Structure 1
């Protein structure tokens, strides 16, 4: 078993230099189907990498200024480069949420941090609210001593008004799920300027994690990527 403290502290420090954070991890259960590690053998442990608030944004912008030409999915490319370099340093295989075939990042995140989904489908974090993301994972072929995820308060259970389901002008989110086509048409249309410049109105209506809310320019970047603008 790999000693966890020094490894995790060193990885966290390497990620912190880019505004990224470790988002928990776990060891796969015996007999569980797992992705491969660095050598191609089955991975035994996974550490999730992500962000809290918009901390990576200035690091990403500096990287982007140094790139030539148009880059498809620049944030994904930056994340892959940063996490890939950290993985190489610590003998892990880097994985991305956009890898094909898709890896179960949402399930991994719930397992690693004990989180549950909000009505918008984004995992609700007790500190960050909806203002966090998972950018990648480090897959190890050695077992790492990791604590069990603690029980966390699911803030959505205490939220009676559910403003996240009442702020979208086209009711994109409901008990029936996400109305993707209606949302996309609105964001691209003449009445979608508030969403394009300031982000999803439903997401911004959530009262939790306000200190970590993405600035408008970050939300506009993500909305443009979503809408293909």
Structure 2
């Protein structure tokens, strides 16, 4: 168990040492059915852990060179290791977006930060745009001195042109949803090199948060993972809540 006073600040500092940031949190309300915390009892609070821009990348690379090259999903493994260490220090249970059965990370994130999905499914952040991600969460047995954010203006509501729906050569994103198989086939195909090396064209077309846009090597890493095994958690977190 952690002492409430200063605990959230301490967690934020521990995460920041690895380029990760707290992405808000909330206390579960009576009557909800949250997952268990560090004990077998239902958790009372959750803190979301993620990134803004590519800040964790140098930390991940330093870790990566010391690991076996056969790790299937190295960024997931690094995230779990870092977040689990923080959880152990502060008496929490660490969980990941790729855990099964899937936890409602998208719903938690919208509740914690007051965000809404973009047409691409990625939550639109007023500062980071689409260039952010959630790497895990910390579940606590006790309530914390935190309050969920109030919803603010949704940048996508004021975007008339919607360039994020017009740049993909196979129209993978549309108001009807994400054409997953079309996207995957294109990225793997002979014409998919621009996406493999430069990232999702629709995502890059968004004019919001460009100061936090991932460097090309980071985007290429995520697209290579997608082309290899079809996992697009970085871009399609909303699919985890279906």
> Normalization by structure 1: what TM-score?
0.97
Structure 1 counterpart of 2:64 = 64
Q: Is the 8 A contact 1:28 1:34 kept in 2?
A: yes
Q: Is the 8 A contact 1:2 1:145 kept in 2?
A: no
Q: Is the 8 A contact 1:114 1:152 kept in 2?
A: yes
Q: Is the 8 A contact 2:27 2:143 kept in 1?
A: yes
Ranges in structure 2 where 5+ consecutive residues have no aligned partner: 230-242
- Note the C-alpha offset of 1:98: 0.7
- Note the C-alpha offset of 1:147: 2.4
Mapped partners of 1:71, 1:147: distance in 2? 37
SS at match of 1:23: strand
Report the aligned-residue RMSD: 1.3
Shift of the 35–48 alpha-carbon distance from structure 1 to 2, 3 Å rule, reads same
The yes-or-no answer on 1:153 pairing with 2:170 is no
Structure 2 counterpart of 1:43 = 43
- Note the C-alpha offset of 1:31: 1.1
Structure 1 counterpart of 2:133 = 133
Structure 1 counterpart of 2:238 = none
SS at match of 2:6: helix
Q: Is the 8 A contact 2:24 2:148 kept in 1?
A: no
Ranges in structure 1 where 5+ consecutive residues have no aligned partner: none
Structure 1 counterpart of 2:216 = 216
Aligned length: 229
Mapped partners of 1:221, 1:197: distance in 2? 8
Mapped partners of 1:197, 1:2: distance in 2? 44
> Normalization by structure 2: what TM-score?
0.92
Moved over 3 A (4+): 1-5
Structure 1 counterpart of 2:73 = 73
SS at match of 1:222: helix
Q: Is the 8 A contact 2:4 2:145 kept in 1?
A: yes
Q: Is the 8 A contact 1:2 1:144 kept in 2?
A: no
Structure 1 counterpart of 2:111 = 111
Q: Is the 8 A contact 1:4 1:146 kept in 2?
A: no
Structure 2 counterpart of 1:16 = 16
SS at match of 1:42: coil
Q: Is the 8 A contact 1:37 1:140 kept in 2?
A: yes
- Note the C-alpha offset of 1:8: 0.8
- Note the C-alpha offset of 1:49: 0.2
Structure 2 counterpart of 1:193 = 193
* Deviations 1:167-200 (CA, angstroms, capped at 9, x unpaired): 0011000111111111111111111110000100
SS at match of 1:228: helix
